[in-house]
Chains A and B, each alone.
Chain A
Amino acid sequence: MSTMQQTPASETKPTLAVFKFASCDGCQLSLLDAEDELLAVAGIVDIAYFLEATSRIKDGPYDITLVEGSITTPHDERRIQEVRQQSKYLITIGACATAGGIQALRNWADIEDFTQAVYASPQYISTLATSTAIADHVPVDFELRGCPINQFQLIEVLKSLLAGRQPRTKTHCVCMDCKQRGNVCITVATGEPCLGPITQSGCGAICPTYNRGCYGCFGPAAQTHAQSLTDHLVREGAAPAQLVQLLRNFNSAAEPFLEQGNRLEDAVNLKGR
């Protein structure tokens, strides 16, 4: 970050805010996990709202806002509108914010059943029947994918914005990174289902590197043909019900994971009848 450290004094530094909705905190933690860059970042932006990191709270508007988490309560439906109004450039970070997250599994269930399964006094609980991405509620300027996000991508996005460039992240699939790492293809070698061909780069193809199939943390890659993959996996012997679960985890509501999951589930149900 050395080129940016000569930015002028604190009054003129761009302000950064971090807001949390339904999530695990892991994506905002990625900022604190950038140990080598953290103090440098703090030197060039004014951290105006970041509850996890600082008790100093400044009112908006904010130049750059990072939003973690999905919308799951009536209160948060309203709060995201306020956050948008206060933000010049709004970046959603992580699978919860960009696709509804693991908690979007409620979208296929009866929320009353869910509440009763967890809470002895469901009447105390206020929640929506769905978990939805931030972009379903307000315009979003940039989406950073991943469960969790890649901290280097986050730092790169912040650097780009501070330098006045439009941020970019790579949108190719995990397979490309996997080949570069010299891994043997998990699906070809063992028949284990792997979402690498349809999942966006960002993790470094860690799952295949550790002898397991990709489970899609970074959501769908650009220009994939998801049905070719699911058809192939079924032909190779994968149980459709298992594929439904593989497609329905942290990015279950992102197309084409959504479409393929629903299609396979319909096929399973039809067969079961």
Chain B
Amino acid sequence: MAEARTIKVEALTRVEGEGGLFIRLDGDRIEDVKLSIYEPPRFFEAFLRGRRLEEVADITARICGICPVAYQMSAVHALEMAQGVTISPEIRRLRRLLYCGEWIESHALHMHLLHAPDFAGVDSGIELAEHFPDEVNRGLRLKKHGNELLEVLGGRAIHPINVAVGGFYRAPKKDDLLALLPDFEWGLEAAIETARWVATLTFPDFTRAYDMVALQHPDEYAMNEGAIASTSGKAVAVTDYETHYEEFHVEHSTALHSGRANGHASYHVGPLARVNLNLDRLTPRARQLADEVGIDWPCWNPFQAIIARGLELVHAYEEAIEIIRDYQPFAPSRIDYEHHTGAGCAATEAPRGLIYHRYEVDDAGLVTFAKIVPPTSQNQQQIEEDLRDWLPRVLHGDDSQTARDCERLVRCYDPCISCSTHFLKLTIDRGESS
């Protein structure tokens, strides 16, 4: 007789924010898989109403301490659309530079301290440093570079203060940016070594037929701007995002799930989606490296997202170096605008995937409506479906090992649970009583 049992991970570790995992089995038959997000709701979209639009970038940054720039960038682009502001090419380049800083900091953190320990079978980046001291120390230096760039350009690494609707409160000083160059030149070579190193890790042979979604831009590796492309269909304009992608609320999560608008089919956002869709827009050395890492792109193995992060790390260094070298101080650092009633939306690429914001404002410049769709809530459904496919391979009698193997898969997505909760209280385990 088949035995009904549950496997629970009460608290996922080495992810940002707090969530759990709940699996119900009947013998080896999978009855239920849930990524439970129990991070308490914080209600950003509600308390943004009535706030001045100039405060939105400062407030939405606080959704996530790991990727505040993603929230700031999406917010200011959406609000600029609402106020009819066109930013200058100089401001646009500096915004890409700021995003490079966040990608470097976030990817270096995830690769070395959160994800790589799984491949070495250790519990933390600190423990990993005992086995791979050079690699981990190198990773920490890279992470520090990202933070230093954020400090120069944003004022500080966590919750930068220099991002404004219309541009920046102050353009950086040329000398301050140039002072970063020696570290960044070293960092580019180190990032290449890092990408090569992660490519040598042993990956489970696990691929899935994903619908991968990321921004795509004709001239550049999309960060702040582009159409929403997919590996399984036509690209759509950001203004049509809500026609094609939809949020829905499930009981086990304080994060709203997302799916395709027709039938809520899952989709996958993040670095793997970006590289698959934008391979040829990587900077030259990152592009060249993509051919050396032993992957026949596109890649459909979620565990190899760490390689995609490595390529983006290299890309971010290369692009940052170019922007810093060419930088000339400019004015105005911020484009003026007059308040008027309006609506605007924007999508940008957070380190962990596509992020979408939409706002409505009144003629006094106060927010009347806010909608925020973070990357992890979009990946939630995908992660659960992956786990259903992954589970049969990792059911080997030892449930605690199964739980660890499932956590490994969850971690590939670099989930940011603080962000994803719009923000959820989860009751695990209706399953056992029913």
Contact = CB atoms under 8 A, between A and B. Distances in A.
Interface of A: 20-30, 32-33, 35-36, 38-39, 42, 47, 51-57, 72-73, 75-76, 101-103, 105-106, 109, 113-115, 117-121, 124-127, 147-148, 203, 206-207, 209-212, 215, 217, 242, 245, 249-250
B126 A147 contact: no
A148 B159 contact: yes
A206 B155 contact: yes
Contacts of A39: 126, 129, 136-137, 140
A106 B170 contact: no
Contact of A25 (B16, B45, B52, B251): B16
28 contacts: A25-B64, A26-B66, A29-B65, A33-B157, A35-B143, A38-B140, A51-B11, A51-B13, A51-B15, A52-B14, A54-B14, A55-B123, A101-B62, A102-B44, A102-B47, A105-B47, A117-B45, A120-B249, A126-B425, A127-B425, A203-B156, A207-B155, A207-B161, A210-B162, A211-B169, A217-B159, A249-B55, A249-B58
B105 to A, nearest CB: 8
Q: Which A-B residue pairs are the 8 nearest by beta carbons?
A: A26-B65, A54-B124, A114-B46, A56-B123, A117-B46, A105-B47, A55-B13, A35-B140
Contacts of B124: 47, 53-56
Contacts, number: 192
B18 interface: yes
B197 interface: no
B159 A209 contact: no
Interface stretch (B35-43, B208-216, B295-303): B35-43
B43 A118 contact: yes
A73 B425 contact: yes
Contacts of A119: 41, 249, 256, 422
A167 to B, nearest CB: 21
Contacts of B43: 103, 106, 114-115, 117-118
B191 interface: no
A30 B158 contact: yes
A54 B140 CA distance: 16
Contacts of A250: 62
Given A30-B158, A113-B46, A121 B65 contact: no
Contacts of B425: 73, 75, 124-127
A254 to B, nearest CB: 16
